Amino acid sequence: MKPTIGFIGLGVMGASMAGHLQEAGYPLRVFNRTQAKADHLVNKGATWCATPGEAARGADFILTIVGFPNDVEAVYLGENGILSSAKQGSILIDLTTSRPDLAIKIAEQASAQGIGALDAPVSGGDAGAKAARLSIMVGGRTEDFQKALPILNVMGAKIVHQGESGAGQYTKMCNQIAIASGMMGVCEAMAYAQKAGLNPTTVLQSIESGAAASWSLSNLMPRALAGDFEPGFFVKHFIKDMKIAIESAEAMQLDLPGLTLAKKLYEKLAASGYENNGTQALFKQYTE
């Protein structure tokens, strides 16, 4: 029988990821702040749990993908949290994009209790989660990574062990820094195309396979051009990520002007009421 998984966080990405694990035959114990989002899994045999601690109780692996670092801290270290109930020998896998220092703190406390811990943020958005094609960047002990690899392989197509605890989160910050300036570039390119009287969709056909190629250009700009601003990844969560990256860069005495500008533009977008839209909504900054 396959190991039991506790899965906490069934949002835009977590619901698909948990669904893949269930389809692969892993018994699930699930928790989400909005219980109705767990119904599709419970109807197929998952066990509903009233708290993160209850979801962790008896599980061999506990996976989390929640919103913000304070949510991660509450889920792991708070009252009725995971570390109050996780059994010795289990492995924690946090898929949330969160602070590297918090990942290290959780790993240290878990280790003191005889529990493994991996920080394993993901990239690929809702499309990657639905297709089980996520990139998963992992920090933690090699032995814990090897044990968790079969589970990670169910959800992702590119799983890389980046180093010790915190390394996964630092790597995800590299990812978000690259996306931030890239999103400004693709939005500006398409706004320029429109002003020049071109058909932006036709322009995409020429530039998305050349030197300008990027995931955002090929996957998010078609959505934006079609007026589809539904979230594959929330603006508010991207702003959170950029703040983490800037704070950690400042601690390393590294100046990131592109990221700083992107954060200002996204904060302006959020203040205009688009914080719950997808990151492609930045296009609105250039066209409205």
- The CATH number for 72's domain is 3.40.50.720
179 in the same domain as 129: no
Angstrom distance (rounded) from CA 288 to CA 276: 18
Angstrom distance (rounded) from CA 177 to CA 265: 14
213 in the same domain as 261: yes
277 in the same domain as 186: yes
249 in the same domain as 230: yes
203 in the same domain as 276: yes
Cα 15 versus chain centre, distance: 12
196 in the same domain as 130: no
pLDDT of residue 232: 86
Q: Which of 89, 83, 72, 61 is nearest to 3 (CA)?
A: 61
Indicate if the alpha-carbon torsion angle 96, 102, 108, 112 is positive or negative.
negative
pLDDT of residue 52: 97
Q: Which of 128, 150, 165 is the last residue of a domain?
A: 165
The single-letter DSSP state of residue 24 is: T
pLDDT of residue 30: 98
pLDDT tens series, the chain, 288 aa: 899 999 999 998 999 999 999 999 999 999 999 999 999 999 999 999 999 999 999 999 999 999 999 999 999 999 999 999 999 999 999 999 999 999 999 999 999 999 999 999 999 988 899 999 999 999 999 999 999 999 999 999 999 999 999 999 999 999 999 999 999 999 999 999 999 999 999 999 999 999 999 999 999 999 999 999 999 889 999 999 999 999 999 999 999 999 999 999 999 999 999 999 999 999 999 988
The residues annotated as belonging to the active site are 172
Residue reference for tokens 């924690």: 92
Q: Which of 114, 143, 165 is the last residue of a domain?
A: 165
Angstrom distance (rounded) from CA 72 to CA 27: 23
186 in the same domain as 148: no
Three-state secondary structure string covering 139-172: ECCHHHHHHHHHHHHHHEEEEEEEECCCHHHHHH
Q: Which of 110, 138, 165 is the last residue of a domain?
A: 165
pLDDT of residue 125: 87
55 in the same domain as 17: yes
174 in the same domain as 160: no
List beta partners, residue 163.
Answer: 139
240 in the same domain as 192: yes
In sequence order, the 6+-apart residues with CB closer than 8 A to the CB of 41 are 10, 15, 18, 19, 22, 28, 30
CATH of the domain at 248: 1.10.1040.10
pLDDT of residue 288: 83
193 in the same domain as 158: no
Indicate if the alpha-carbon torsion angle 77, 81, 83, 89 is positive or negative.
negative
Q: Which domain holds residue 245?
A: 170-287
